[in-house]
A and B are shown apart, each in its own frame.
Chain A
Amino acid sequence: MSERPFAITLEVGSSRANHTGSWRSERPEYVRRMPPCNAACPAGEDIQGWLYEAEAGGGGYHSAWRALVAVNPLPAVMGHVCFHPCEEACNRLALDEAVGINAVERFLGEEAIRRGWEPPSPAQPSGRRVLVVGSGPAGLSAAWQLALRGHHVTLRERSKQPGGMMRYGIPAYRLPRRTLDAEIERITALGVQIECGQRVGSLAYALQEGAFDAAFLALGADVAHHIDIPGATAARVIDAVAFLHATAEGQAPVLGRRVVVYGGGDTALDAARTAARLGHGAGSLPAPQPLAGAPGAQEDPGGEAPPAPQEPVVVYRRTAERMPAHPQELAEAREEGISFRWLSTIAAARGERLVLERMRLDEQGMPQPTGELEELPADCVILALGEEPDLTPLQGLDGVIGEDGRVAVNEAMMTARPGLFAGGDLIAQERNVAVAVGHGRRAARSIDAYLRGFAMPGEEAPEPVAFADLNPWYFTDAPRQVAPKLARIRRQSTFEEVVLTLAEDSALYEARRCFSCGSCFSCDNCYGVCPDDAVLKPGPDGSPYAIDLDYCKGCGMCAAECPCGAIAMVPEQT
């Protein structure tokens, strides 16, 4: 270099001596922000996180599934039955359509079953014993989490088989029993003891007798609301949960040709669709179901040919728009020929007919009687008017049942009695599997803390990432993949799955539609767009980037061009 002319000729890269970082008034920081899907998921799944794994395809499915079951032991089940509020919150809606989160979850869940992926290994045994009552999703979720944390779990279930409403409520055409069985088996494989046919009559007694250190109550809610229909005979009125339960156990009652379902929730639709299938010869189905599509799966119930059935009619006092049932369920019911009498209540029964009263909606959208009556022929009425929990096992436990007659819990899911936790339909306003799974997990975390003497974690709710926080330029238009459906004709008479699992490429495609809201997805944009070459990409793909603060001038381009809003500009301390 000494030969080179002074000052005019310089060493390459010597500007590294000039630390332009001192110009900066704001610095970029990598952040992980709450994606709206995660924020909306009642089960508390890290949706963006597992989609990120899944979008790699191949080995990525396994890591995605592991991330999934770390939170939720029932991904395949949930992939079938969850109402996916995550998708309503999905930022991609603002661009084209929501990511098919639920369909990918189902794909991963089924993939795990197909490939026999092992559950994660539990922590060292803690020596603590926990009683879980009820094997619905809340109970199973809590049991899974507790077992993973090394606690000994005893799960008591009143019915013959575990699963709660997933087995005895949700019809098989929406949730094949082999899927449910497979996921429950994985829970028992983790060491959870499920004792079926064991109703807990008195919790106080059970706790004492079993020397449990803590307990989680997940009794569900299956005591149906009743109304009296003047003129109706008890034999012709049945409640929906009982009807579905019996059907699930292979003992479907004889309903007659003309079935009327009363109510507007999902249960009403399930009852109607189940009745339709029975009327068309599915008969009293054995549970669990044989493989979907296997020849000869559905036998004719035999006996003399029944008179041609009519499709069930759902009677509801408000309109389709105001129905609590999920739109997708309504659409499928319609596809299957279920008909509806909107703005109608059942006023009375007269022989083989029901008397309906027409309603109108007032300004608040509440149905008001009009006095207009009409008749509807009916051989039987299925009531689907809601359910409430059976709290008798809780008697004798002070303060657990509040003055309003309900079980109250705090943020940590603990009842008024220390060490006694509760969740699922038993306490929930919103009753669904995802909420139940979320309750089970939160309760398990609290129980774990309780048993180890730590403070119980609260549930923080950070502001989710909005569409405006993203840079959508980087997302190509990619229309949603629609899961294939079973042909209508087969749906009329079989309990085969209506909505089928996505094929692998479609699932991958869906996963890749994710914007990765609020989390870096290693697109290299920040590394690329920095005019000051001040973003470091230290390791192989997927390892985190870093800002070289010696040189970053704080222009904010990396933050502006981050597709997923994972870089924040924060003021420099001066």
Chain B
Amino acid sequence: MAEQIEASVAIATAVARCRPEVLCAYPITPQTHIVEALSRMVRAGDLAPCEMVNVESEYSACSVAIGASAAGARAYTATASQGLLYMAEALFNAAGLGLPIVMTVANRALGAPINIWNDHSDALAVRDCGFIQLYAADNQEAIDMHILAFRIAEQLSLPVMVCMDGYVLTHAIEPLELPSQEQVDSFLPPFAPRQILDPDEPMTIGAMVGPEAFTEVRYLAHLRQQEALDAIPALAQELSERTGRACGGLLSGYRTSDAALVVVAMGSVLGTLEVLIDEMRGEGLSVGALAIKTFRPFPRAEVAAALGGAARILVLERAIAIGAGGVLTDSVRWALGARQTPLHTVIAGLGGRPITRRSLRPVLEAAATGGLGELHFLDLRQDLVDRELARCRSSARPGPHAEAILREIGIVGAGPV
């Protein structure tokens, strides 16, 4: 039965039903509500046995999770943006050590300029750290993906990042279904670690490996992520049998089978896209959407298959690979292999800018007819850019662009950071 609930609290409840043993986090918007809710549960004794460690940094958060997981505890942490990058070194380490930590990333832009609003640049910046990355399209999926994440992580001995759009998802209050404790328990067995720090069976974890075996270590890590391509759909299927709804997976298509133009995207924008696609289909336009739910490992074959019938592809990116273009685009193109399907990259929603149907529609129409360039910035305020470029040309010491643009549009940085 659905209940009206703030998504962050729902996520916290879902995590709690997974019976974590060690929680650790450092506050950063927009992750805070999740952690606060969990903290309340631990303090109240509703979540026991469980230790909540209020660390002094995200670096420590991930490190505490590493220690806890290596000692055989189910460990969870959450972060976003700057915090995720502050953890960067530890992320690679947790993955390298094969520790099944589950982490929520409340996706948020990266500074400078500092910005607390949503985009995917944080998670995508660490896409190769070795974590499995799941992207939730909506909050119900986010809830289910957390339960799935613990199961995937522990089955494969790999850490999992559940990415959900900051604010857009985390702060929404909506009716959500929380899997019951019984449902979770029946799906998620107690943690049986692949390796454990235990005086009864001592082992050395975290050896130094030189050129003689490093490639093999990495290759094996890659293989293990490939295994996840089989495991994730199977487990998602298993969970959905219990919940009676779709619960994540590798990807999902929306009216793609006969679509000439397929929009590829990750995260909450898919809801917007689906409505738009329905509208456009009504107008006779052959459009579909492909949601990438598992970005790491990248489901190359599945993406290739899903895009098999598309005449044109538009990749809607919520991040920018500065100096290159789109991050997801590269993976999609790689999935297409030798196929020369025309492909457009649209950069949208950076730093919290809303992605609206009104803005998207003309872009999709242009793409469908071949009138869109290879790289397009949705809703780019060209006037602002032009004026700043002109100012730069006229002045010897123009100062930072960003600051100048902000001044230009009268925004004085706001809100918690």
Using a CB–CB cutoff of 8 Å, the interface residues on chain A facing chain B are 3-12, 14
Q: Assuming A6-B217, A7-B217, A11-B204, what are 6 further A-B pairs, CB within 8 angstroms? A: A5-B98, A6-B216, A8-B98, A8-B206, A8-B217, A9-B195
**How far, in whole Å, are A77 and B220 apart by their CA atoms in the complex?**
83
Binary contact readout B33-67 vs A (1 if CB under 8 angstroms, 0 otherwise): 00000000000000000000000000000000000
A10 with B217, Cβ < 8 A, contacts A3-B194, A4-B194, A5-B157 known: no
**How far, in whole Å, are A3 and B195 apart by their CA atoms in the complex?**
8
Q: Is the CB of B204 within 8 A of A7?
A: no
- For B209, the chain A residues whose CB sits under 8 A away are 7-8
What secondary structure prevails in chain A residues at the interface with B? loop
Q: Is the CB of A8 within 8 A of B216?
A: no
**How far, in whole Å, are A7 and B217 apart by their CA atoms in the complex?**
7
B380 close to A (CB within 8 Å): no
Using a CB–CB cutoff of 8 Å, the interface residues on chain B facing chain A are 96-98, 157, 194-195, 202-207, 209, 213, 216-217, 220
How many whole Å from B196's CB to the nearest CB in chain A?
A: 10
**How far, in whole Å, are A271 and B157 apart by their CA atoms in the complex?**
97
Q: Is the CB of A5 within 8 A of B97?
A: yes
Q: Is the CB of A4 within 8 A of B195?
A: yes
- For B207, the chain A residues whose CB sits under 8 A away are 7-10
How many whole Å from B247's CB to the nearest CB in chain A?
A: 28
Q: Is the CB of B202 within 8 A of A7?
A: no
Q: Is the CB of A10 within 8 A of B204?
A: yes
Specify the chain A residue showing the minimal Cβ separation from B212.
A7
Specify the chain B residue showing the minimal Cβ separation from A5.
B98
**How far, in whole Å, are A4 and B216 apart by their CA atoms in the complex?**
15
**How far, in whole Å, are A6 and B217 apart by their CA atoms in the complex?**
7
- For A12, the chain B residues whose CB sits under 8 A away are 202-204
**How far, in whole Å, are A9 and B98 apart by their CA atoms in the complex?**
10
Specify the chain A residue showing the minimal Cβ separation from B98.
A5
Q: Is the CB of B216 within 8 A of A5?
A: no
**How far, in whole Å, are A11 and B205 apart by their CA atoms in the complex?**
9
- For B96, the chain A residues whose CB sits under 8 A away are 8
How many whole Å from B94's CB to the nearest CB in chain A?
A: 12
How many whole Å from A71's CB to the nearest CB in chain B?
A: 53
**How far, in whole Å, are A7 and B220 apart by their CA atoms in the complex?**
11
Interface centre among A6, A8, A9, A10 (most CB of B within 10 A): A8
How many whole Å from A199's CB to the nearest CB in chain B?
A: 82
Q: Is the CB of B203 within 8 A of A11?
A: yes
Specify the chain B residue showing the minimal Cβ separation from A15.
B204
Name 22 A/B residue pairs within 8 A (Cβ), A-sorted: A3-B195, A4-B194, A5-B97, A5-B157, A5-B220, A6-B213, A6-B217, A6-B220, A7-B207, A7-B209, A7-B213, A7-B216, A7-B217, A8-B98, A8-B205, A8-B206, A8-B217, A9-B205, A9-B206, A9-B207, A10-B203, A11-B204
- For B157, the chain A residues whose CB sits under 8 A away are 5
How many whole Å from B69's CB to the nearest CB in chain A?
A: 13
- For B202, the chain A residues whose CB sits under 8 A away are 12
**How far, in whole Å, are A14 and B202 apart by their CA atoms in the complex?**
12
**How far, in whole Å, are A294 and B251 apart by their CA atoms in the complex?**
112
**How far, in whole Å, are A389 and B207 apart by their CA atoms in the complex?**
83
**How far, in whole Å, are A7 and B205 apart by their CA atoms in the complex?**
9
How many whole Å from A5's CB to the nearest CB in chain B?
A: 5
How many whole Å from B205's CB to the nearest CB in chain A?
A: 5
How many whole Å from A8's CB to the nearest CB in chain B?
A: 5
**How far, in whole Å, are A6 and B213 apart by their CA atoms in the complex?**
9
- For A8, the chain B residues whose CB sits under 8 A away are 96-98, 205-207, 209, 217
Specify the chain B residue showing the minimal Cβ separation from A3.
B194
How many whole Å from A371's CB to the nearest CB in chain B?
A: 94
- For B97, the chain A residues whose CB sits under 8 A away are 5, 8
Specify the chain B residue showing the minimal Cβ separation from A4.
B195
Specify the chain B residue showing the minimal Cβ separation from A6.
B220
- For B206, the chain A residues whose CB sits under 8 A away are 8-9
Q: Is the CB of A9 within 8 A of B204?
A: yes
**How far, in whole Å, are A4 and B196 apart by their CA atoms in the complex?**
9
**How far, in whole Å, are A10 and B208 apart by their CA atoms in the complex?**
10
Interface centre among B207, B209, B216 (most CB of A within 10 A): B207
How many whole Å from B194's CB to the nearest CB in chain A?
A: 5
**How far, in whole Å, are A531 and B117 apart by their CA atoms in the complex?**
55
- For A10, the chain B residues whose CB sits under 8 A away are 203-204, 207
**How far, in whole Å, are A7 and B203 apart by their CA atoms in the complex?**
12
Specify the chain A residue showing the minimal Cβ separation from B192.
A3
How many whole Å from B193's CB to the nearest CB in chain A?
A: 9
How many whole Å from A391's CB to the nearest CB in chain B?
A: 81
Q: Is the CB of A4 within 8 A of B203?
A: yes
Top-9 shortest CB links A-B:
A10-B204, A7-B213, A12-B202, A7-B209, A5-B98, A4-B195, A7-B217, A9-B205, A10-B207
How many whole Å from B220's CB to the nearest CB in chain A?
A: 6
**How far, in whole Å, are A14 and B207 apart by their CA atoms in the complex?**
12
How many whole Å from B209's CB to the nearest CB in chain A?
A: 5
How many whole Å from B347's CB to the nearest CB in chain A?
A: 38
**How far, in whole Å, are A6 and B206 apart by their CA atoms in the complex?**
11
- For B217, the chain A residues whose CB sits under 8 A away are 6-8
**How far, in whole Å, are A11 and B213 apart by their CA atoms in the complex?**
16
- For B216, the chain A residues whose CB sits under 8 A away are 6-7
- For A9, the chain B residues whose CB sits under 8 A away are 195, 203-207
